[in-house]
Structure 1
Amino acid sequence: MNDSATEVDELLLRQLLREQHPDLAGLPLREVAGGWGNQMWRLGEELAIRVQRMDAGPDLQLKERRWLPALAPRLPLPVPVPVRDGAPTEHFAKIWTVMTWVAGTPLDHGALTRTEHAAGTLAAFLAALHDEAPADAPGASDFGAHPRDCAAGFDNFLHAVDLGHLADAEGRIRAVWDDAVTAPPWQGPPVWVHGDLHPANVVTAEGTLTGVIDFGALHAGDPAWDLAAAWVLLPPGGAPHFFAAYPPIDEATMRRARGLAAMKGLFLLLMGQNGDRGLPGGKPHWAPAGRAALTRVLQDTPGC
Structure 2
Amino acid sequence: MANSPAADVTITEPLVRLLLREAELPYADDPLTLAFAGWDNEMWRLGTTRAVRVPRREIAVPLITNEHLVLPRIAALLRPTGVQVPAPLAAMRRTEPFERPWSVVPWFGGTAALNIPRAARTPWAHTLAEALGHLHVPAANDAPINPVRGQALITRDEAMRERLAGLDMPAAIVAAWDAALAAPAWNQEPTWVHGDLHPGNVVVDDDRLVAIVDFGDVTAGDPAYDLAAAWIMFDAAGRQAFVEASPQVEEATWVRARGWAAAIGVTLSAHSDDRPDYADLAREIVNEVVG
Normalising by structure 2, we get a TM-score of: 0.90
Query: Which structure 1 residue ranges, 5 or more long, are not aligned?
Result: 276-282, 300-304
Are positions 1:139 and 2:119 aligned together? no
The alpha-carbon distance between structure 1 residues 140 and 33, as it changes in their structure 2 partners (threshold 3 A), is: closer
Shift of 1:121: 1.3
Which residue does 2:157 correspond to in 1? 151
Pairing of 1:18-37 with structure 2 (within 5 A): 18-37=21-40
Shift of 1:246: 0.5
CA contact (8 A) 1:194 1:219 kept: yes
CA distance in 1, matches of 2:165, 2:34: 35
CA contact (8 A) 1:38 1:55 kept: no
Pairing of 1:108-257 with structure 2 (within 5 A): 108-161=114-167, 167=169, 169=170, 171-257=171-257
CA contact (8 A) 1:176 1:259 kept: yes
Amino acid at match of 1:231: W
CA contact (8 A) 1:31 1:40 kept: yes
CA distance in 1, matches of 2:25, 2:211: 29
Which residue does 2:268 correspond to in 1? 268
CA contact (8 A) 2:230 2:239 kept: yes
CA distance in 1, matches of 2:94, 2:141: 30
SS of the aligned residue for 1:24 comes to coil
SS of the aligned residue for 1:285 comes to helix
Shift of 1:39: 1.1
Amino acid at match of 2:236: P
Identity across the alignment (%): 37
CA contact (8 A) 2:119 2:238 kept: no
- Aligned alpha-carbon RMSD (Å): 2.0
2:66 to 60, 63, 68: 63
Poorly superposed stretches of 4+, deviation over 6 Å: none
Amino acid at match of 1:191: T
Query: Which structure 2 residue ranges, 5 or more long, are not aligned?
Result: 1-5
Shift of 1:229: 0.5
Are positions 1:85 and 2:91 aligned together? yes
SS of the aligned residue for 2:26 comes to helix
Normalising by structure 1, we get a TM-score of: 0.86
2:10 to 7, 11, 32: 7
Shift of 1:270: 2.9
2:113 to 104, 107, 111: 107
Shift of 1:94: 1.7
Q: Which moved more, 1:262-271 or 1:195-204?
A: 262-271
1:285 to 277, 281, 287: 277
Shift of 1:154: 1.6
Which residue does 1:50 correspond to in 2? 53
Encode CA deviations 1:278-299: one digit per residue, 9 max, x unaligned. Answer: xxxxx12111111111111121
More relative contact order in 1 or in 2 (CA 8 Å, sep 6+)? 2
